Chain A
């Protein structure tokens, strides 16, 4: 007789730091071994089951059983196996309850939690090591009665015969059947090493000290049927298969239902959505709706109705209306967000007319992919929106999606290093010298550099384990903003657990799981630029009464595009990075769609896929645009034949390689994950053979595949780009026409964006706007606009810029000032109820200038203030004037930087120039007059250092001097030779070669010099800078 076996007790690595195999690995192995079924029974968790479910479909595993291992506070261990849908809901509810009752990451169960009897589940009783099934555990038998088995798990520990006899006896005594199970922790024996390591990580010890917490052997893997037949009596194996035969639940059966309270009585979701859309349409086109739009909306509404997505759109609309009512700026993005319906509903401000190319590629029936709408809100007010959702649907029905935090090279190195007994110092040394390590290949030199021997066994073990553990889930965290909202309580669908933040709950599934399960989520995200834009609108309105909104900012203003083409985009949305700025003069965007491309093209995906230069050449007419076929032309025409967007890649796979839309969607997901998991292989064959069959040249096919590979996880969807482009345009318009208001809003929204307050303010001053210093007698808490000469707006720095001053103290200063200006420091202290510390930071910022003079005097005055005594309130304390030196300009600059992060004095480089002249350093402003290839020396303050993963070891450094910015390229070889300078210098000198390409100037560094000690002189050695 052939052996039949179903593994009913298996942990995946979603039982964090116990299981040592991915759910996919377990499923694949169980299928290959010919098991009747495999149960994934992660400890009090359903986090791994969706992946297992997907893998089971793919590998043809005969049956996947859902279950969970549960340990009670008393120490008893049970495995619950889901029999039917009701059982699944009951188990999810039990897990939710256990998880919510305990700290994040743990759970708490007692026998009381089983009073309902867990209907719809079968239960395995896992005996303790002492093999006793106690009288006190009678409740287990009473509760589960004929749904209870005693699990016999024989692990070749030398006691197997005794164990079997003993359990048989117990079975007879308690009248319970026995079944074989494997206590599986890994898919193959070889993982025992990793299993030992994760055990030690979990117990915060080292492997050699973990002792009996480690398993004595590697039997806890999926054993072959032959081995099992040898180890277990046949009837116990058969019993497992028999149990599996009675379990019929599959995740397929879960049905997600939208919340239905949004639809008023007497309406259906469909009629109500139509009503809201039509209302919106009239609002958007008060002068009459164009026929084209009406047709489009009709088309979309039909599609939405066919796919039954009405409730989803209504849900998003409801959230957005709440935000609008609260004057919180928001903007939707994603595949469905750019539809005409969403424009009518106010979910997006991108006019479909402006985006004629886009609307067709909105949700499609064939792709059967859920619509995806992410909504960005002002980052400082997103919490209000989240609380609204919780309030409206209750915590029972709304929760955040989880993000599974997995091991990255760095965290892997740290945790594995610890359990192998490396010291903290050695580990930080290693992770430092392997900063940019991808977790796969390692240079011996890197190990040597960390003072360790690459050939030593410890290091070999370390690297082996690190490679194995990378990608392993470590714990659940909350998704940035993905909400799942449900009509019925969520815990019937998936367990809910506590998040780190108080009062936050997350479900046990992450984004990919939701997608796989067809669950809809609404991403409620925070975006700093929206805050800045709203503040700009407010500032403009308050200053001169002009009223703007996202929709009413004048479209397609050529002056805005002129500014963008000049690369003058510091502070704006998305196109402000150094790489973007360098690209703008070459790309020369002149219309909205150019911005859409611009947002998507300067990203790691297109850069690695080598799409940037072909696109540039074609755009500049240096290269012919040709298409291998009409179909391809249809897909790529808008981007001149170069695939730039994620959607284009998928469409190419469909039109040129014959993929079904479903396959294309799987390709998209594989693209996102192939770097971590591998697995583009099958797609490669299919893509290339598919294209060959359709008559495309092999070379073209290979090129497309390379581009797909390059895209990797960074492919940017056009649907997001389109929404972002609107914010790009609006922020550019604000920068171009109202620079003072825009910079002011940016400063008030810090921290955000790419640039520091200092850079933003310098940029503003270069654009001819006056900036005034912080002053306790003038400044508000926020930076604000004042009318300057001729009524032009002037930026006044706010008290918020003063480092160390609390907002409360700042607001008191402003409120008390209503009653009259401050005359003395003591008066300020008493009236605004400040303490010495508050006054100290104000003195350092220079905000007391008007009260007491220079910083030295201000500090003396502050130190002399005294806590007001009621009797002597207002009585000035007269004392002899001290003999204090005046602060030097250098000292003032240093204090400015310390306190507000910026200075309105001269640039520090001005003061140092005399010293720097010895080295023949040129100023940034002189560089455009030089010629390409010339050898030059430059120096400046180090503003940014970037080492993008895509740029093969190049470090980009930006220096700042009094005349502007210098962009450095430091090749890897130079970076290593001048490691210390590159890492430490705050004032960096460079000998290098100039590279000028049009308006783009780079310096290729050849030698680096650290002049940071000169900065010290600024404050210390006053003689030099008097």
Chain B
């Protein structure tokens, strides 16, 4: 079930058949729905993804028409008069679109009419109708309920309150009186839908992405040459992005072979960039380790999602802020290089965590994420050894005193009692001591206060 937040309340947007059978309907609050069917799975609506899907569909539909327009959150308009011949007539075109959409996993309410608004309203009403002549619009629209028009809800309620519920009811009203009460715009809507007025729309354009191939006349295995080809591609990539004031955080090179499937090499950066030289630096590092199964016949460069990037102007100021910025940049670059060389899984950043338990007091983080965001908090007055054991090691004991390599430890300072962490599986109850070993090492040991009072070694002071 999909829910959407409206004025702070989660409301049901879509429910599957099982939920509907239990009485869950769109518009119900999530709480009410849960009361009906406590086992419901709720999913928050994701408008960004919906928009992406719609845009993908718009691009895809461009194969049927040169004019596709995104008219609403869930509405696409196609101008098909020009495509009829190409697709073998209206019925055939319609069937093809519905069938192909179905194969992509979408169901669509399709209506065909001479004006975009009429088609929109008819589609919303769910009537599978096809009107070719403008003069037939009137009779077809008259019966449509006003809910299909998506007029502002206040106006719709007002109209309903006057007993006006269908388009036909509106058309019966005196035009002047109607316009006075509901605005000329509503009257224009009706006129546009009926084809009395023109209704121009904007066509959809997909955002641009760089994609270029370099094809060779014969197979090549000279790695130096391949690198040069890549550099050329990167240079034209830079030109492409520069012209559009864009940058990207990821790139993908594909090396095509005659027999094997293409070898792919993906590059990522911590900050959006378009500089060919920087991308090339990263590429060189990774390319060294790249194994090509056979010679290469073509290279393709595709850029990832692009984002706006303003050109950096060199600044003369040496303010502290600028210095810091630079410093940050270079660490980010270092992280990139390291990731490029030894792989994502081998490079970590460390962060302190505000937590009493020593084993939870730090954590690893992706080095490419914005590392300045986390601030370091630490109790400066507690004593922690720099060298911590991955797991506390059980120490043998002699009449209640811990032994280390056979020698009794001298407890120097303590106890520091830690009783915390009950909220996860790492509940601890321990008394920590600084201890001196026979060999003169300062150790961090604790005695367990839960279950058996065993001694453990947890760290070694430098």
A946 at the interface (CB under 8 A from B): no
- Asked if B377 contacts A211 (CB within 8 A), the reply is yes
- Please tell me if the beta carbons of A879 and B418 are within 8 angstroms of each other in the complex: no
Flag whether B17 is at the interface (Cβ < 8 A). no
A69 within 8 A of partner (CB): no
- Note all chain A residues with C-beta closer than 8 A to B172: 882-883
B36-44, B299-307, B388-396 - the one binding chain A: B36-44
Q: In the complex, what residues of B have CB within 8 A of residue A219's CB?
A: 417
Q: Is the CB–CB distance between B31 and A432 below 8 Å?
A: yes
Contact of A856 among B161, B377, B431 (CB under 8 A): B161
Task: Report chain A residues within 8 Å CB of B177.
Answer: 860, 864, 879-880, 882
A449 touching B417, Cβ below 8 Å: no
- Chain A minimum-CB-distance residue to B415: A156
Count of chain A to chain B residue pairs whose CB atoms are closer than 8 Å in the complex: 138
Q: Are B354 and A420 in contact (CB under 8 A)?
A: no
B381 within 8 A of A: yes
- Given A158-B414, A433-B38, CB of A208 within 8 Å of CB of B423: yes
Cα of A898 to Cα of B422 in the assembled complex, Å? 53
Contacts of B424 in A (CB 8 A): 208
Interface hits, B432-454 → A, CB 8 Å: 432
Interface of A is mostly: helix
Residue in contact with A979 in the complex, picked from B35, B176, B413, B416, CB distance below 8 Å? B35
Q: Which of B144-181 contact A (CB under 8 A)?
A: 158, 161-164, 169, 172-174, 176-177, 180-181
Q: Does B10 contact A (CB under 8 A)?
A: yes
User: In chain A, residues 822-877, which have Cβ atoms closer than 8 Å to a Cβ of chain B?
Assistant: 840, 843-844, 855-857, 859-860, 863-864
Contact pick for B423, options A420, A864, A887, A983, CB 8 Å:
A420
Partner of B30, one of A214, A425, A881: A425
B361: shortest Cβ distance to chain A, in Å? 10
Does any Cβ of A come within 8 Å of B382's Cβ? Answer: yes
From residue A194, how far is it (CB to closest CB) to chain B in Å? 10
Q: How far is the CB of A607 from chain B (nearest CB, A)?
A: 28
Chain B residues within 8 Å of A432, by CB:
31, 34-35, 38
Quick check: is B258 within 8 A (CB to CB) of the other chain? no
A549 on interface, CB distance cutoff 8 Å: no
Contacts A156-B417, A158-B413; A884 near B162 (Cβ below 8 A): yes
Contact A429 B34 (CB under 8 A): yes
Q: Are A884 and B163 CB-contacts (below 8 A) given A158-B414, A214-B420? A: yes
Any chain B CB within 8 A of the CB of A914? Answer: no
The answer to whether B420 and A984 touch across the interface, beta carbons within 8 angstroms, is no
Q: A159-B381, A428-B31, A428-B34 are in contact. Are A216 and B161 (CB under 8 A)?
A: no
CB < 8 Å: which of A843, A881, A884 contacts B164? A884
A130-B432 Cα distance, complex, nearest whole Å: 21
Q: Which of A157, A879, A887 contacts B417 (CB 8 A)?
A: A157
CB–CB A887/B382 < 8 A: no
How far is A218 from B419 in the complex, measured between Cα atoms in Å? 6
B436 → chain A closest CB, angstroms: 16
Query: Are B418 and A216 neighbours in the complex by a CB distance under 8 Å?
Result: yes
- Contact at B420–A129, with CB atoms within 8 Å? no
CA of A864 to CA of B39, assembled, Å: 51
A207 within 8 A of B: yes
Closest to A881 in B: B174
Q: Is A766 an interface residue (CB 8 A)?
A: no
**Residue numbers in A under 8 Å from B431 (CB-CB):** 156
Cα–Cα distance between A885 and B160 once the two chains are bound (Å): 11
**Size of chain B's interface in residues, with CB distance under 8 A?**
50
Given A843-B161, A979-B35: A882 touches B173 (CB 8 Å cut-off): yes
- Chain A, 193-237, CB within 8 A of any chain B CB: 193, 196, 207-208, 211-212, 214-219
CB of B225 within 8 Å of the partner chain: no
* B377 / chain A contacts, CB cutoff of 8 Å: 211-212
Q: Chain B residue with minimal CB distance to A432?
A: B35
Chain B residue numbers with a CB within 8 Å of A193 are 422
- Picked from A156, A211, A215, the residue with its CB within 8 Å of the CB of B353 is A211
In the complex, what distance in Å separates the CA atom of A130 from the CA atom of B381?
8
- Per-position contact with A for B29-70: 1 when CB-CB < 8 Å, else 0? 011101110111010000000000000000000000000000
Q: Which A residues are in CB contact (< 8 Å) with B35? A: 432, 979-980, 983
Within 8 Å of chain A (Cβ to Cβ): is B308?
no
> Which residue from chain A places its CB closest to the CB of B3 in the assembled complex?
A425
Q: Is the CB of A984 within 8 A of B382?
A: no
Contact of A450 with B38 at beta-carbon distance under 8 Å, contacts A156-B416, A158-B416 already known: yes
Q: At the interface, yes or no: B383 with Cβ under 8 Å from chain A?
A: yes
Interchain CB contact (< 8 A) of B355 among A211, A860, A979: A211
A662 within 8 A of B: no
* CB-based contact B36/A984 at 8 Å: yes
Residues 15-33 of B, flagged 1 when their CB comes within 8 A of A and 0 if not, give 0000000110000001110
In the complex, which residue of chain B has the Cβ closest to the Cβ of A982? B35
Q: Is A105 an interface residue (CB 8 A)?
A: no
Taking a contact as CB atoms under 8 Å apart, the answer to whether B415 and A158 are in contact is: yes
Q: Which residues of A contact B383 (CB under 8 A)?
A: 158
Contacts of A192 in B (CB 8 A): 419-420
Residues of the A chain whose Cβ atoms lie less than 8 Å from the Cβ of B356:
212, 214, 216
> Does A457 make an interface contact (CB < 8 A)?
yes
Tell me which of B163, B381, B382, B422 has the highest count of chain A C-beta atoms within 10 A of its own C-beta. Answer: B163
Q: Report yes or no: B423 in contact with A461, Cβ–Cβ below 8 A.
A: yes
Given contact pairs A129-B381, A158-B432, A216 touches B420 in the complex (Cβ within 8 A): yes
Which residue of the partner chain A has the closest CB to B165? A1020
A214 to B42 CA separation, bound complex (whole angstroms) = 33
When distances are taken between beta carbons in the complex, the residues of chain A under 8 Å from B38 are 429, 432-433, 449-451
The reply to whether the CB of A468 lies closer than 8 angstroms to some CB of chain B is no
The residues of A that contact B174 with a CB separation of less than 8 Å are 879-882
Given A216-B420, A880-B176, the answer on whether A885 and B163 have CB atoms closer than 8 Å is: yes
Q: In the complex, which residues of chain B have a beta carbon less than 8 angstroms from the beta carbon of A158?
A: 382-383, 413-417, 432
Please, what's the 1-or-0 string for A154-186, where 1 marks a CB less than 8 Å from any CB in chain B? 001111010000000000000000000000000
- Chain A residue nearest to B44 in the complex (CB): A425
Interface-central residue, B35, B36, B180, B423, by most chain A CB under 10 Å? B423
B425 near A: Cβ within 8 Å?
yes
Nearest neighbor of A197 in chain B, beta-carbon distance: B423
Contacts of A196 in B (CB 8 A): 420, 422-423
5 smallest beta-carbon distances between A and B, as pairs: A211-B354, A158-B416, A156-B417, A880-B174, A863-B181
A sample of 16 cross-chain residue pairs with beta-carbon separation below 8 angstroms, ordered by A number, consists of: A192-B420, A211-B355, A212-B379, A216-B419, A216-B420, A428-B30, A428-B34, A432-B34, A451-B39, A856-B161, A859-B161, A882-B173, A882-B177, A884-B163, A887-B163, A983-B36
Known: A428-B31, A457-B425. 12 other contacts (CB 8 A): A156-B417, A196-B423, A208-B423, A420-B423, A432-B31, A863-B158, A863-B181, A879-B177, A879-B180, A880-B174, A882-B174, A885-B163
